[in-house]
């Protein structure tokens, strides 16, 4: 087997000298290097910001969406939306393991795994899209993919159905970061709390703030907002458009007063919500931008422009222990598991 770089630079076609994620095009030939594994892919979980953009560009037409996704993978050798720059993740079965692939956990050929690194850096060869529904970001495919030595993955558990595990693991970094950032007694605002990542974050935030804190959710959908209240996943739910900065700011301020929120978690899948997050957060508070629709230029310069000294955290989808924490939410909360089963199975 040919020798590969730990970080997958041997797969970069252009521009040379960069890593697979920022690269424009990857080598997606499926002959593995010595530090790679080959995966027979079953399902792609395209990230929410990317899928929303594709759906909008294709006017909810499933055939046009299939064509766009196929075109992206053909051109780039990976699933990286050229507008959002983001990807998603996948589940599949291990077909081959390189002779020098580090394997402390005893990964075997035939194991079913979920990749915990972005499709935007994963070499992917797409043969066929078997099933695509505009309302679900899970796309069933015939495909193969490569995972580098540095790539992280999770062996799929026996007690949770594959597609349910995929749905949760796709956003595992969000509730894990909430667990790190939110403390007892905090006032927390979740912007975009009604989606997949939002629900998991709400659960973790409610758990962390304890009896003296409060969780405020800003949610666009009335249906999703009511569901959060019914499931006791927030103390306050504001139905509002998060891009309408002053409207949301005024509504949150009625709950928190001038002080604002200790921590704000942004999970929305549309752009232009950066300043909303900044205004509702107290000075020297923290904002975690999990959303891949975030412009970090707008966030950084916007905070400066309104004189807010705030900790701005980039939405790194990886946090140590994130897979286990997120799957345990499905085990601990029958209501969330039941909801996700209805949505994703």
pLDDT of residue 131: 96
Q: What is the 3-state secondary structure (H, E, C) of 27-69?
A: CCCCCCCCCCEEEEEEEEEECHHHHHHHHHHCCCCHHHHHHHH
pLDDT of residue 175: 97
* Residue listed under structure tokens 């949505």: 343
Structure tokens at 187: 């006032």
**Integer angstrom CA distances of residue 22 from 15, 18, 226, 276:** 9, 7, 40, 28
Please, are residues 202 and 233 in contact by the beta-carbon 8 Å criterion?
A: yes
pLDDT digits (tens, 9 = 90+) for 273-290: 999 999 999 999 999 999
**DSSP β-ladder status, 236-239 and 214-219:** parallel
Average the pLDDT over 123-140 and give the result.
95
- For the cut 80, the answer to whether the pLDDT of residue 132 exceeds it is yes
d(CA 314, CA 89) in angstroms, rounded, equals 19
pLDDT digits (tens, 9 = 90+) for 78-122: 999 999 999 999 999 999 999 999 988 899 999 999 999 999 999
Domains defined along the chain, listed by start: 9-156 (no CATH), 173-339 (3.40.50.720)
Classify 287 as helix, strand or coil: strand
- For the cut 80, the answer to whether the pLDDT of residue 140 exceeds it is yes
Structure tokens at 300: 């950084």
Torsion of CA 59, 199, 147, 82, to 10 degrees: 30
pLDDT digits (tens, 9 = 90+) for 213-265: 999 999 999 999 999 999 999 999 999 999 999 999 999 999 999 999 999 99
Average the pLDDT over 166-186 and give the result.
95
Q: What does pTM read for this prediction?
A: 0.88
Helix (H) or strand (E) holding 222: helix 222-230
Please, are residues 172 and 322 in contact by the beta-carbon 8 Å criterion?
A: yes
Mention every residue, 6+ apart, whose C-beta is less than 8 A from residue 293: 49, 84, 268, 269, 270, 271, 273
Task: Categorize the per-residue pLDDT at 4 as very low, low, confident or very high, splitting at 50, 70 and 90.
Answer: very high
């Amino acid at each position: 087997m040919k020798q590969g770089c730990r970080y997958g630079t041997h797969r970069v076609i252009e521009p040379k000298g960069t890593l697979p994620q920022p690269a424009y095009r990857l080598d997606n030939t499926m002959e593995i290097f010595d530090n790679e594994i080959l995966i027979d892919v079953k399902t792609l979980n395209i990230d929410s910001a990317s899928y929303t953009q594709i759906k909008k560009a294709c006017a909810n037409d499933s055939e046009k969406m299939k064509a766009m996704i196929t075109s992206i993978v053909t051109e780039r050798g990976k699933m990286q939306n050229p507008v959002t720059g983001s990807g998603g993740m996948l589940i599949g079965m291990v077909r081959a393991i390189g002779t020098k692939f580090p394997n402390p956990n005893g990964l075997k050929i035939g194991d079913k795994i979920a990749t915990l690194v972005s499709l935007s850096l994963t070499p992917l060869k797409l043969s066929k899209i078997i099933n695509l529904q505009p309302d679900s970001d899970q796309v069933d495919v015939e495909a193969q993919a490569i995972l580098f030595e540095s790539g992280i993955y999770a062996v799929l558990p026996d007690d949770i159905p594959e597609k349910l595990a995929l749905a949760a693991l796709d956003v595992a970094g969000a509730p894990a970061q909430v667990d790190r950032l939110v403390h007892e007694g905090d006032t927390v605002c979740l912007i975009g709390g009604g989606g997949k990542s939002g629900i998991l974050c709400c659960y973790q935030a409610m758990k962390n703030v304890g009896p003296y804190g409060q969780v405020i959710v800003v949610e666009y959908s009335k249906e999703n907002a009511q569901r959060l209240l019914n499931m006791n996943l927030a103390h306050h739910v504001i139905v509002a458009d998060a891009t309408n900065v002053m409207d949301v700011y005024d509504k949150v301020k009625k709950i928190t007063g001038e002080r604002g929120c200790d921590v704000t978690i942004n999970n929305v899948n549309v752009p232009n919500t950066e300043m909303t997050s900044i205004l509702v957060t107290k000075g020297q508070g923290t904002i975690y931008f999990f959303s891949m629709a975030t412009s970090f230029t707008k966030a950084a310069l916007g905070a400066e422009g309104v004189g807010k000294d705030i900790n701005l955290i980039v939405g790194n989808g990886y946090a140590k222990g994130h897979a286990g924490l997120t799957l345990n939410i499905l085990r601990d909360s029958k209501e969330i598991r039941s909801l996700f089963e209805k949505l994703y199975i």
